[in-house]
Structure 1
């Protein structure tokens, strides 16, 4: 037992946050040897495989993918550089069953969609911190996007598919995207205590230029690093389009720093901070025209968007026993996002010849997340079986506000008013809200049958409290006809999970997992209050909403071979209940009343497979396929956010040093499973990419790529939900045409 505890303590250095720039497939080689299958198995059988990649998010401790009863992707710094990933769209470009939504008119990237479930139903985390969310009511605003960390700060991205509330609580109903940032210790080599690098990158998809500078220094038991990244770009250029995208220029400044102190051999303290500042200017041509539904003609529209994001955290790791606790980690953090969207519009009546008024709008969104988490591990032998307990407590307090202001100027007289379009400004569509989330969780990894069988039960108990704070600006939005008042709500939920994994032999294994998901009704769905007298509709708050829930069943089989070849086949069946939708609940005179209610039950099932065959020392073919089908069980109609059947294949030369080249082909079926026959059905497509990387020497490395080589015109199906084939802006939703990318790294 003492030896095993030492191995767990050694593993904890990475499990609790100590990073490494070693490629993920090679990290398993450095794991301590152990006969216990709850530990990462050393790659002694032969060449490391894809299944030896290490995940820390899936089990909240360091595990190779081959030892996890779930489907998880691990994307490393090497992957990001080699495939010229510059944003989150690039990040999931080659991931089965995962997409990132995009609003091409102005907002840009939206949310991750995992197996047909997206939005705030996918939890985003950075170094274990909950990140600010993306209010559902922002979907139609057209000026908001969900903030993501800069990829230059990131060492590893892990994507957990399916419900994960047993370990992560509310909002992990569709999956988890966990970012891990770099450590200064990742850079020191050959006994050196100083490191510096400069990186330049270009992406032709949106004429993006990137410059990044990294420095790290070590003195005794203290390490420090800093990264500054500057990005400048323009609008994306869709393939074969006949219309011009909205002219856009944008910039992004990102500052990242981390201080690591090791006061003792078993203690590590990390202080991490980042600041991201971005701005965007858009000539919104897509908003220009005559719109009878708005009773207006728009002559010109400009948008100016600004976003500031702050992250700061402090983490203490203790890798030695304290009583019954073998090791622990305590994390405290603060995340903040501030967004300001300014819009300037020239308008007139539907039949106007010249504009009659000008509107200026300022929409704001601020969310602060303050949180803490205590995570502990205990290794015990109980009843002759090895048990590895992971357990802890988490707490977060979130404050959210979204004020809106608008002024209209009559051009002929210069008169101004704050009563515009039937709304009185300034206002708030939902009240300022305080949200408190607290949870306690425990997971046990039980090894039996000589280590071949691993049983992993887990459960989490969550407390969720939401307190709205309506003020005069909220009542400005709701109007005098509102007959429902926002009220505080509290939810308590238990989320269990059970995983079974069996190693038939050193080559083949299989697993089964039952997992549950829980998502409390968000602040804007529950308390959205809005009256538009000009258009005769109203949205009422609803304090009686139920949490959304999920039950997921997944079974999989894996094989890995001495030459580095491997494969995985997965089938899943997910049941989602009480999804929130808006529906008509009444009429008050000519005003139609809407309200968010628990209306939809969804079933999504599918099959995913991926594998790699290394047919020669430097050559491999790899690929994946993903098929899913979703049904709204209330209506019997398809779920639009489920992507069509997609398959990817690649041939690769080289693996680590020297030259690495890839040819990647992706085929997708037509998106015919839409809930309304009048919706656009994204056609089938074939896309071809090629990448090449070369390590020139110890100081220089270059990566280049050609993407959408055939200049295919194709759409990411979830981007076009609800759009009709006759929509004049349809081309803007297409993916970028043929473009090239390159990045060059120089380090000392």
Structure 2
């Protein structure tokens, strides 16, 4: 089978090459093509202000609304399916994803911001509690930007691996004439019996604009290749979201108020692992999970003033509430029992921020001086409850494995963050080298509150408050080589403050003589990136080559074993810092317009990693990958079609800290076929067949930490052959 797919991969590459050659020959007979350089893509995420892509000393992806439609994107997994160096962190069949993994760094180490406000971090404890990161905003999104590498200078803590910036719909995105407009997007997919819908309506009277939008999605479990509906965990997911955004243009500037609310429910029946391992006596395990988020933002974009030529102020408040219930039946025990586990996590945050920019003439140079700040407070708490009912004795207990419920995993806490940044952009000589130095001061303060429940459950556990601060510099260099090419390089530092749940841990199993202790000396995680590359573009061709070297130090390992304490006669666990990790690689992208109707895209990605302590590769860093597309657009302009090839080398053998073999994802090659039809100017119909060869394969970063015989592995495979359809209407 492996050889079959190797031959398939080689045949596809050969086909792409042969087709490219033939259209290149045909192109010789065409009239001389215009050499006008196409309009540049505008990005905001790199400088927090609009910039042409050619002005950015770094690697940024901008996924427009048109690309969201053409790629039939319904959720976060669809969003990054064709993104180089970016993957979705999703290693569970029951819980939601934990964010994006950028160049091997993911989870809470990658910032996700919605309309310039960072969303809540993921929190997980044990096997029955995991908040995920709730990226339902994609249903209300019109544009997504991805910044690769540490970006803490502009985005503070949690931007250690990079930034994913989601922009929700504005009225201009919906208006079809001067005053009104409506957009409808419908879709479905067979990989998880998905159905998707979004409706957005906008109104404008010139000085005021209003947009109202709602989105919903229903889906079941992923139909992983090589599995059947009887062997997969049964999951039913319902997602709904709403957006209201009002904007007024006044004499002093533009005011905007936005509110978005999101809700997700997940009903699951876990089947993998029943009757084996820790579920040896379990005959049924049911999950009933719910997550609700809302966010309110007041934004003011002043007219040109003495202190700023452009920018914005924003006041924000957001809340995320997660409730997860698990119902377990253990009928294989001599005395069957029913077990209930409940989990709640509550996150509230409010803050004030500004991102401003001023054009300044000083020291003989023209400067674009950017500066800003963000101050915020987050209030967080969790609570777990549980009971066990003995069917034979008809007795109920609220003590499981020595833990008495209800309890908290950490004391109620406040997290205060304050950051100031300043960065500059200046051209050293006309059409010459441009520098963009910057620095941020970041202060993080964790304070615990008086928590009777935590003290009652862990009377002998010491808790600590924590304060950290850091200076986070960056330097970008950009040298225009011509009107269509530039060389760039950058150095940047990343930073992630110690999470509250790692600093203060509540864990005591008297039955197993296990105790977790706080770590007041826990250091922040730090990242250092060096990146350089070349970009070139013309009317027919664009390419970019990038090399990067990322060094990360003081990675936090949650609840690491410190061994047996002979004094306390307990096995001690504590969150600790680990040594340096290196991730480096090369990325190459090439887009070619061979003919008015033929176009190709090729991306190559090579990444290597090393844990300096053990010398081993990181399980979460994916092997080298190839992405290739061949697209045909009809001369009439009313339809197009493209073939997409993705191939990845097999993962090298992985070994755990206990010298046990871990699952290494095999190599694969897959083909997707996607087409668009435009029957009317404001109608778009999309159709795609994915994984044409019905290949069973895994995303290496999602399964690299599992033992080779873990029963969850088959259902974590990607979907087999499936179809997607979508309809976009504008009126």
**TM-score, reference length from structure 1:** 0.89
Name which of 196, 199, 216 aligns with 2:182: 196
Distance 1:138-1:82 versus aligned 2 partners, 3 A rule: farther
Distance 1:297-1:472 versus aligned 2 partners, 3 A rule: farther
Name which of 622, 626, 635 aligns with 1:643: 622
Name which of 254, 260, 266 aligns with 2:247: 260
Question: Aligned to 2:394, what secondary structure does the other structure show?
Answer: coil
Are residues 1:168 and 2:155 paired?
yes
Match of 2:200 in 1: 214
Output the CA distance in 2 between the equivalents of 1:256 and 1:325.
Answer: 30
| 8 Å Cα contact 1:575/1:601 also seen in 2 | yes
What displacement does 1:466 show?
0.5
Are residues 1:250 and 2:237 paired?
yes
- 1:588-667 correspondence to structure 2 within 5 Å: 588=565, 591-654=570-633, 658-667=638-647
Question: Aligned to 1:108, what secondary structure does the other structure show?
Answer: coil
| 8 Å Cα contact 2:75/2:139 also seen in 1 | no
Output the CA distance in 2 between the equivalents of 1:61 and 1:727.
Answer: 47
Are residues 1:274 and 2:257 paired?
no
What displacement does 1:711 show?
0.7
Aligned-residue CA RMSD (Å): 1.9
What displacement does 1:190 show?
4.1
Match of 2:385 in 1: 405
| 8 Å Cα contact 2:540/2:594 also seen in 1 | no
Match of 1:152 in 2: 139
Output the CA distance in 2 between the equivalents of 1:618 and 1:140.
Answer: 52
What displacement does 1:608 show?
0.7
Output the CA distance in 2 between the equivalents of 1:470 and 1:707.
Answer: 54
* 441-450 vs 494-503, greater mean Cα deviation: 441-450
| 8 Å Cα contact 2:98/2:108 also seen in 1 | no
Name which of 505, 514, 518 aligns with 1:528: 505
Match of 1:67 in 2: 55
Name which of 697, 719, 727 aligns with 2:702: 719
What displacement does 1:426 show?
0.3
Distance 1:669-1:290 versus aligned 2 partners, 3 A rule: closer
Output the CA distance in 2 between the equivalents of 1:470 and 1:485.
Answer: 13
Match of 1:343 in 2: 326
Output the CA distance in 2 between the equivalents of 1:201 and 1:607.
Answer: 36
- 1:304-703 correspondence to structure 2 within 5 Å: 304-320=288-304, 322-347=305-330, 352=333, 356-469=336-449, 471-475=451-455, 477-478=457-458, 482=460, 484-561=461-538, 563-581=539-557, 582-588=559-565, 591-654=570-633, 658-672=638-652, 674-676=654-656, 678-703=661-686
Output the CA distance in 1 between the equivalents of 2:126 and 2:132.
Answer: 9
Alignment deviations for residues 426-461 of structure 1 (CA, whole Å, 9 cap, x no partner): 001111110011111001000122133210000000
Alignment deviations for residues 296-326 of structure 1 (CA, whole Å, 9 cap, x no partner): 6112111100111101101000131x22422
Distance 1:590-1:286 versus aligned 2 partners, 3 A rule: farther
Output the CA distance in 2 between the equivalents of 1:673 and 1:496.
Answer: 37
- 1:730-745 correspondence to structure 2 within 5 Å: 730-745=713-728
Distance 1:706-1:476 versus aligned 2 partners, 3 A rule: farther
**TM-score, reference length from structure 2:** 0.91
| 8 Å Cα contact 1:577/1:600 also seen in 2 | yes
| 8 Å Cα contact 2:37/2:484 also seen in 1 | no
What displacement does 1:485 show?
1.1
Are residues 1:301 and 2:285 paired?
yes
Match of 1:25 in 2: none
What displacement does 1:287 show?
4.9
| 8 Å Cα contact 1:106/1:142 also seen in 2 | no
Question: Aligned to 2:226, what secondary structure does the other structure show?
Answer: coil
Question: Aligned to 2:554, what secondary structure does the other structure show?
Answer: strand
Question: Aligned to 1:117, what secondary structure does the other structure show?
Answer: coil
Alignment deviations for residues 649-707 of structure 1 (CA, whole Å, 9 cap, x no partner): 00112399532321100000011163436001100000111111122223321111111
| 8 Å Cα contact 1:46/1:564 also seen in 2 | no
Alignment deviations for residues 576-600 of structure 1 (CA, whole Å, 9 cap, x no partner): 1111114332424653111111123
What displacement does 1:476 show?
5.1
* 649-658 vs 461-470, greater mean Cα deviation: 649-658
Name which of 53, 56, 74 aligns with 2:44: 56
| 8 Å Cα contact 2:94/2:268 also seen in 1 | yes
Are residues 1:112 and 2:100 paired?
yes
What displacement does 1:398 show?
0.8
Output the CA distance in 1 between the equivalents of 2:584 and 2:154.
Answer: 23
Question: Aligned to 1:525, what secondary structure does the other structure show?
Answer: helix
| Alignment length (residue pairs) | 690
Output the CA distance in 2 between the equivalents of 1:627 and 1:365.
Answer: 39
What displacement does 1:335 show?
1.4
Name which of 209, 230, 247 aligns with 2:216: 230
Question: Aligned to 1:80, what secondary structure does the other structure show?
Answer: helix
What displacement does 1:390 show?
0.6
- 1:57-136 correspondence to structure 2 within 5 Å: 57-135=45-123
Match of 1:746 in 2: 729
Alignment deviations for residues 207-246 of structure 1 (CA, whole Å, 9 cap, x no partner): 1111222111112411111111121111111012266111
Question: Aligned to 2:380, what secondary structure does the other structure show?
Answer: strand
Output the CA distance in 2 between the equivalents of 1:140 and 1:415.
Answer: 25
| 8 Å Cα contact 1:287/1:298 also seen in 2 | no
